[in-house]
């Protein structure tokens, strides 16, 4: 498509933009034109930011977060509680929990969840590293912040079993009604969990 409209450089930009999540071929073309119209303010700086990121981003060898330093910003932060490790499936979950600023602990990115269908076995995940970190004397609680899916919960059970011999608490996120959520839009499973785990008012 559109080969004749513009040089190969622009077509290449459109094709690469179309591979971003949330952009299809049409919106990639719109984004490319938006960028081209703002060459100085946006196109140049964004290209430069990507070059810097591509060069400098590394995976934290301690927790699995991505950052431009190793250990990452979270692991280096001395003000954080080193007795708590929050276990997440992926980096997006870590970032989401940090945005919520709900806990000032450490993290551990499993880089996936166990899945019989997708052939993901324990050795594919950062589970050994988690057990090693959990065995450190300073660790006192492991919070399993895994998705409330079948695979997420299977992984949670598997990890809990591995940690059973260690002198620490293993907890998981509460299930319940999302804040701001309306009851009649919620599924039965959530409503049942919210009732079962009801709190004194």
**Which residue, 44 or 122, is less far from its own copies as judged by CB?**
44
**Which residue, 42 or 135, is less far from its own copies as judged by CB?**
42
**Which residue, 59 or 160, is less far from its own copies as judged by CB?**
59
Per-residue contact string for residues 53-92; x = within reach of its own copies by CB under 8 A = xx-xx-------xxxxx--xxx--x-------------xx
Is the sign of the CA dihedral 113, 119, 122, 124 positive or negative? negative
CB of 167 to its own copies, least distance (A): 29
**Which residue, 43 or 177, is less far from its own copies as judged by CB?**
43
Q: Which two tokens stand for residue 27?
A: 């919106």
CB of 143 to its own copies, least distance (A): 17
Concatenate the DSSP letters of all residues of 45-101 into one string.
HHHHHHHHHHHH-EE-TTT--EESSSS-HHHH-TTS-TTEEEEESSHHHHHHHHHHT
Q: Angle of helix 150-163 relative to helix 127-134, nearest 10 degrees?
A: 40
Query: Alpha-carbon distance 64 to 11, whole Å?
Result: 35
**Which residue, 2 or 135, is less far from its own copies as judged by CB?**
2
Per-residue contact string for residues 1-30; x = within reach of its own copies by CB under 8 A = xx-xxxx-xx-xx--xx-xxxxx---x-xx
Size of the site for its own copies (CB under 8 A): 57
Q: Assess 52 for contact with its own copies (CB under 8 A).
A: yes
Q: Assess 170 for contact with its own copies (CB under 8 A).
A: no
Determine contact, residues 110/87, Cβ cutoff 8 Å: yes
Long-range residue pairs from 131-135, CB within 8 A, at least 24 positions apart, any chain? 131/162, 131/163, 133/62, 133/85, 133/106, 133/108, 134/85, 134/163, 134/166, 134/168, 135/166
Site for its own copies in 91-120 (CB under 8 A): 91-92, 94-95, 98-99
Residues at the contact surface with its own copies, assessed by CB under 8 A? 1-2, 4-7, 9-10, 12-13, 16-17, 19-23, 27, 29-31, 33-37, 39, 42-54, 56-57, 65-69, 72-74, 77, 91-92, 94-95, 98-99
């Amino acid at each position: 498509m559109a080969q004749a409209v513009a040089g190969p450089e622009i077509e290449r930009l459109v094709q690469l933009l179309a591979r971003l999540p949330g952009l299809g071929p049409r919106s990639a073309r719109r984004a490319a034109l938006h960028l081209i119209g703002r060459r100085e303010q946006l196109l140049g700086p964004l290209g430069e930011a990507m070059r810097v990121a591509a060069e400098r981003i590394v995976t934290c060898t301690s927790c699995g977060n991505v950052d431009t330093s190793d250990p990452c910003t979270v692991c280096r932060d001395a003000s954080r509680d080193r007795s708590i490790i929050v276990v997440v499936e992926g980096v997006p979950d870590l970032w989401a929990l940090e945005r919520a600023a709900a806990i000032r602990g450490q993290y551990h990115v499993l880089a996936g969840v166990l899945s019989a269908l997708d052939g993901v076995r324990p050795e594919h995940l950062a589970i050994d590293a988690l057990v090693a970190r959990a065995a450190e004397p300073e660790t006192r609680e492991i919070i399993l912040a895994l998705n409330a899916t079948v695979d997420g919960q299977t992984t949670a059970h598997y990890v809990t079993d591995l940690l059973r011999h260690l002198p620490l608490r293993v907890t998981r996120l509460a299930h319940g009604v999302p804040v701001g959520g309306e009851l009649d839009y919620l599924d039965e499973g959530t409503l049942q969990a919210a009732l079962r785990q009801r709190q004194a008012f």
